[in-house]
Structure 1
């Protein structure tokens, strides 16, 4: 077994240095530390010099303090943790093991306490453990963390014979196979805490998948397996090639530099690249912003590239070490894979569910076989991964994926087979991305690997988002997932050429981060791809349409009035026919669901499905006929009322006060519910508030009926704001009797009460608030998340007349915060502007709201009043 080098030179304690006071020791430690940090500031790339220099300074200080404490000659001091590896980051603890003989007296215990206290007095943040050799062995047997700590212990000072006894006993009790299995379990559990991805928004550069801990893990299991304790030793033992050792060290340096600068910027031990520090760390590393990317985004892309490489190499090396520890498994012959179209039988082997070329030099002789690997991966039953030799061969063969490879007709045909495969597409593309094959083949994809999106609603890097959308699209076509989104699965079942939807998902955001409209740029890339790969013009243009318009359906559904026939007709004209509509609908659902777990909800699902069905009717030849639509909706509402024993006469009192716009804007089920609640209270002197569970998903549907008043919308928004509700939709209607009949969809993000109590509270408290008619309260400045604070959306307000010139359309974009909608409503109320429709589009922590406004001539009739309103709204959004 290979242990770290020792600083012991004899059987006894080292020579005692000259006596030194605590003050002098503190000054010496501080001066040594500051000199190293100053040099690193001047040379920010020299991270090895920094961490090794800090470790050497700690070594010297610890030896001096050990002697000053008067530790007995039969004890020893060992560095463990980072210092044990000869590395100390600026604000990391100095972990040590005080090794004692089996029998110790009170004097030894007191000396150990003096040593620990003197370390703290000298300014060294020490993490001590005190054990005998026997205690070390017993605790290591119970806890793999202790076992790992002892594995890399490095002797600093003290009794060399005691250290040799400890090492001999530890070596005798270490089972390399059991240690490997325990560390693999520990790694899987650690990765699970970070959702098994290196692409977190705020990754931990030490503990996250692809972080420094994964590299340390390799050296731990290699050392236990007696294969070496450094990258050079692993190269000599054949675990690593020279190229792999070079790549590991290069990416290790990147991660170490980031961690060191993170400590210095934070001024404390901080291993998370939190939003608050990303820009400052980027600046400390010398990274500059460019027109398309913040400096912090550049930093994160560097980090993600390094973490991805570490994750890939970690898998290769761990599988290699596993093969060394269990050679009998590695030596088992694979089963030849046969009956894959156009691929020679036996060209690939199935080795216990992992794929491996029969000839390990296959990729060197025939580079397009790289893509054949993933064709077989999608089509061979029972294959769930790749063997270590395959991963290693792919890692080395990437350099052969040059321009000629990417232009090869054979490569084109193989890539299309992967995209067009009826199963395994998502897994294959994800594996191709992890092994860097996807980015090497599609150079445009490589540009967005690891690219973070600080737009406040994407929580994945662009490449991970794209692959998430591909996954969502593929699930629509898989029967076992049909229960998730039944309507989508039903539509997908009738689609021709599903692979075109997969290709659109792969390209829809592929031009992000270049500046300009990524939809337009992506369309150009799709056409270039289609021409190079020999796709028909029809197929290419179908995919190009989806990429170009992948944001259109979401925008129309969430921002425009779907009860307006002109809106639906205009959208239908842009779509053209049912196949394009269906594909665009499926891509839109998959795209929204792939941005963040928080963005998708039942309300968005309803809006998109409503738009799909309305557009389908128009495409089917049913020209918008408001009069026929009105009659149909009223007839359906009457049918629903009849189920409750309410005839036409019972509904008459309310319906006589309603105009056609009300019936066209509300679903028949909502009309029936409103009628049941209000039929006997049409002239109620008190506000009527009624609430129920939203019929299509989470949240409440709230009805408000009371005499109209200029600030009613603002007053209602203020109530919901004060009770932590988010408004998803608002439909504002004024009856012929000048009563407000308003309907809201609201959700409480952190449901703290049972819905029954929540409904009762809304009905009672909102009615009481409206009846009080007090002055509007001042909007409260809501708290914003750290992400919003550091990557805010620039507020934008746009005011324009609608197409008929009768009303105004107000569009607002800003970072989301509590009280935002109330602040907007309060400005509108103060200017005497009434809201007729509010479309609230919340995308994670970003809002894009649209309001349909009605105003008197003096309020919005001239350019001066319009500019004044926009300025007031911008001020409200900024405060």
Structure 2
């Protein structure tokens, strides 16, 4: 019999089966006849052994924290011995059978990953009991007793109990069962029964069904990837099921085993599905991924396979990753994780290519494709519809071809043969400084980057082959680099490539509904290639320890001339990279109704073309951050800023654009409301100019109706769904008084709302008309009548002072555990130059429930008047900006008062509601 786990050392330190077996035999002798007590004592003996074994394996992993394969092998060995001991104890001492019939035979097998001889600390123990025919009374007793004992041991057991015929029938009908049985392994019991089952599985199930199995497995893999985010570069990856994870490696082995009957991964080399080098890559990636998964299980004490932000920190520490060269330990750990996930993706591609060649009929690919045959291929050849090399030296003879193959693939819509991709990876080091300066190479690269077809796909191929990073060394520095925050969903290189893809899709008109303004502007650009290069370079200096915008602009100054851009184009790209965050920061953190905000923005932008370029760059940058980050609210704010800036930049409108906008809005409102000149004059006189600038026409109509309906009422509250922003619009019309804003903010939070924007206005006769955009905690709007009623009632109660706000908020704790993985030092910036009328306060803090209420309360305590509030969140980070004055409507100039204000806001940003001053 072949020894299992031949490379596992010091087995008896994990578990000494002979010693435990002797102790169980002694217990059985001592307690003969008392079956219930004996079973309890056996379970206790096994539980002690299991705990001791786990401790030993955990100790081994802590000593070699990146050697995951050794740990999972040791766990599988430990469970094997526990099962053997339990089987023997059950059949010899608890339910001994003297003269068994031929039907009273039973074999215990391991299936699935456990069958492969691998087990993470808290994975399910997947086992099968197989009998010759239907179970007899004795086999049922044995199986039932063993299962109860395993559950008493605290193990999660996935089990089946079938006859051989039932096993074959289930394997034919169910892909999951067939895959599990593919890795079935003998544990204990009737060996002949196991051999018969294995032989029948081979002849009845596997013979002649390899093609169908491969097709089903690849379809299953695609479905799993879609479910997990369809990228191996998501920043909270699933180590087991995600793209580039363990399941992808296991799928390769399953396919290889089914098609070629291999017994181990190493045998995939013998059958030509992997080379020796690829086998080493497979084993290295698998070893690392198993180590990560084991640490996750041990940290959480459960079968946790998702590498969430809080677990990334702990895992990186356990695996001894420390900060170095501007990157924290956790960022270095995650970069290494993504490089291994990339290796898994590369291996999958070449493995499937080998398999395709093996299984294809002559002249026809097994995995089908539909490509036309181009005439001119510059020396490259076609292999069943894929771009391939005429010989293995082709890249070495002229390394510029390493760029040209991707330009050809894009131009003709061709896939690249995996053997050519493998050769490109191998020969990428031939891209030297001389090749980087070659005009042909740079022209080919720019053809791909600015392609009107599908630059995202081809750039991703270029990245996976490492040609991209070799040709643009600055890009190589951000490959697989994560940003340790909740805002960015992808690594820097993946984010960048997605942004280029989004730009191409907007240009082709595929996203007109989501991005109407950007789609319109793309057709008007004079500097199309400038924009594509700027999107490529906007984050290229991330992770260097300085301001990535400034450092990235320096990279652009150096790189653009090499790519063939003129000095003027280079200057524009450099400016765009330097200021790529300007538009979003202005739109989301500043009051667009404040004329100086627009003036300051235009002072930096200076030209209509730069404004168009910056808008398009900003849109794709935000959209490429991840799913759900772009929304109609951000689209509206960016559009408002664009229109206001464009108006100023148009010749002849510098002085009168603002007053014309106010007049146009007033005329449109009067017509929409059907009011006489006298009636409208009475209404419009009450409202300040800033109000007309701040609010769009539909809100003006809504507010006007509200004011007229309220009449002389001291308080009127409206709440309705506002589809243009994907939020609920809450309008409060009330006599203005200190503390109004913080009371409304607290009430909205108590009602379960999250304020995403607040526009606060005071009429000339001292009445507040405040508009709040509110979403639920998951970013959706309040829709149901119950929710709208609840929010109105909460504001009424708060303004009538019917309850103590702080006490109510304390009673409603809403932990944000994911955000708590991050330490963000609160920061308060007070600026008296950003506005002519107001003191502008920007607060950066970790996002948490009721943060806005806490800050508003601190402002109230400081005796300042809030005129507008702007709320932006970037994952775990909140940036709240307030335009304030003192109670006499002047800027806050006193140094002592500013220091007190800063201190109060810092305390509110960093603390909890309970720590606020009582009111």
TM-score (normalizing by structure 1) = 0.91
- Residue 216 (structure 2) pairs with residue 185 (structure 1): no
Partner of 2:31: none
- How many Å apart are 1:811 and its aligned residue? 0.7
Partner of 1:101: 132
Equivalence map 1:116-131=2 (5 Å): 116-119=147-150, 126-131=157-162
Partner of 2:374: 338
The separation in 1 between residues aligned to 2:647 and 2:842, in whole angstroms, is: 28
Distance 1:521 1:198, change over 3 A: same
Structure 1, unaligned runs of 5 or more: 8-13
The separation in 2 between residues aligned to 1:421 and 1:576, in whole angstroms, is: 29
Partner of 1:68: 89
User: Do the aligned residues in 2 keep the contact of 1:220 with 1:229 (CA within 8 Å)?
Assistant: no
User: Do the aligned residues in 1 keep the contact of 2:71 with 2:291 (CA within 8 Å)?
Assistant: no
The separation in 1 between residues aligned to 2:594 and 2:21, in whole angstroms, is: 89
Partner of 1:815: 846
Q: Which one is further off, 40-49 or 173-182?
A: 40-49
Equivalence map 1:207-226=2 (5 Å): 207-226=241-260
Distance 1:83 1:739, change over 3 A: closer
- Residue 381 (structure 2) pairs with residue 348 (structure 1): yes
Equivalence map 1:432-443=2 (5 Å): 432-443=462-473
User: Do the aligned residues in 2 keep the contact of 1:832 with 1:859 (CA within 8 Å)?
Assistant: no
Secondary structure at the residue paired with 2:387?
A: strand
Equivalence map 1:17-96=2 (5 Å): 18=22, 20=25, 21=27, 22=42, 23-70=44-91, 74-96=105-127
Return the match for 1:704 from 701, 719, 732.
732
Secondary structure at the residue paired with 1:599?
A: coil
- How many Å apart are 1:307 and its aligned residue? 1.1
Distance 1:84 1:765, change over 3 A: closer
Equivalence map 1:447-846=2 (5 Å): 447-625=477-655, 629-630=658-659, 633-667=662-696, 670-679=699-708, 684-691=712-719, 693-694=721-722, 696-749=724-777, 754=783, 766=795, 769-771=798-800, 776-778=805-807, 779-780=809-810, 783-802=814-833, 806-846=837-877
User: Do the aligned residues in 1 keep the contact of 2:61 with 2:68 (CA within 8 Å)?
Assistant: yes
Aligned length: 863
Distance 1:241 1:406, change over 3 A: farther
Distance 1:243 1:696, change over 3 A: same
User: Do the aligned residues in 1 keep the contact of 2:738 with 2:860 (CA within 8 Å)?
Assistant: yes
The separation in 2 between residues aligned to 1:315 and 1:657, in whole angstroms, is: 68
Measured against aligned partners, the alpha-carbon deviations of 1:577-608 in whole angstroms (never above 9, x if no partner) come to: 11111101110111112223333222221221
User: Do the aligned residues in 1 keep the contact of 2:487 with 2:875 (CA within 8 Å)?
Assistant: yes
User: Do the aligned residues in 2 keep the contact of 1:227 with 1:237 (CA within 8 Å)?
Assistant: no
Secondary structure at the residue paired with 1:786?
A: coil
Q: Which one is further off, 460-469 or 262-271?
A: 262-271
Secondary structure at the residue paired with 2:234?
A: coil
Distance 1:729 1:105, change over 3 A: closer
Partner of 2:14: none
Distance 1:712 1:115, change over 3 A: closer
Return the match for 1:366 from 398, 404, 408.
398
Distance 1:230 1:407, change over 3 A: farther
Structure 2, unaligned runs of 5 or more: 6-16, 28-41, 93-99, 913-919
Secondary structure at the residue paired with 2:662?
A: helix
User: Do the aligned residues in 2 keep the contact of 1:638 with 1:672 (CA within 8 Å)?
Assistant: no
Measured against aligned partners, the alpha-carbon deviations of 1:164-203 in whole angstroms (never above 9, x if no partner) come to: 2212211112121222122122222222220222223322
Measured against aligned partners, the alpha-carbon deviations of 1:464-498 in whole angstroms (never above 9, x if no partner) come to: 21122112211221034333322211110121342
- Residue 912 (structure 2) pairs with residue 876 (structure 1): no
Distance 1:69 1:769, change over 3 A: closer
- How many Å apart are 1:547 and its aligned residue? 0.6
Give the alignment's Cα RMSD to 1 decimal: 3.2
Distance 1:389 1:109, change over 3 A: same
User: Do the aligned residues in 2 keep the contact of 1:704 with 1:741 (CA within 8 Å)?
Assistant: yes
- How many Å apart are 1:567 and its aligned residue? 2.7
User: Do the aligned residues in 2 keep the contact of 1:378 with 1:428 (CA within 8 Å)?
Assistant: yes
- How many Å apart are 1:831 and its aligned residue? 2.5
Return the match for 2:268 from 224, 234, 259.
234
- How many Å apart are 1:238 and its aligned residue? 1.5
Partner of 2:12: none
Secondary structure at the residue paired with 2:266?
A: helix
User: Do the aligned residues in 2 keep the contact of 1:651 with 1:679 (CA within 8 Å)?
Assistant: no
Measured against aligned partners, the alpha-carbon deviations of 1:505-539 in whole angstroms (never above 9, x if no partner) come to: 11101111111100011111112211333421111
Secondary structure at the residue paired with 1:733?
A: strand
- How many Å apart are 1:378 and its aligned residue? 1.3
Secondary structure at the residue paired with 1:732?
A: strand
- How many Å apart are 1:88 and its aligned residue? 2.8
- How many Å apart are 1:273 and its aligned residue? 1.5
User: Do the aligned residues in 2 keep the contact of 1:730 with 1:742 (CA within 8 Å)?
Assistant: yes
The separation in 2 between residues aligned to 1:47 and 1:129, in whole angstroms, is: 28
Measured against aligned partners, the alpha-carbon deviations of 1:723-778 in whole angstroms (never above 9, x if no partner) come to: 22333333333333222233333334565864677666656764565355776545
Q: Which one is further off, 561-570 or 815-824?
A: 561-570
The separation in 1 between residues aligned to 2:217 and 2:398, in whole angstroms, is: 37
- How many Å apart are 1:720 and its aligned residue? 1.8
Secondary structure at the residue paired with 2:316?
A: helix
Q: Which one is further off, 569-578 or 765-774?
A: 765-774
Return the match for 1:377 from 400, 405, 409.
409
User: Do the aligned residues in 2 keep the contact of 1:227 with 1:234 (CA within 8 Å)?
Assistant: no
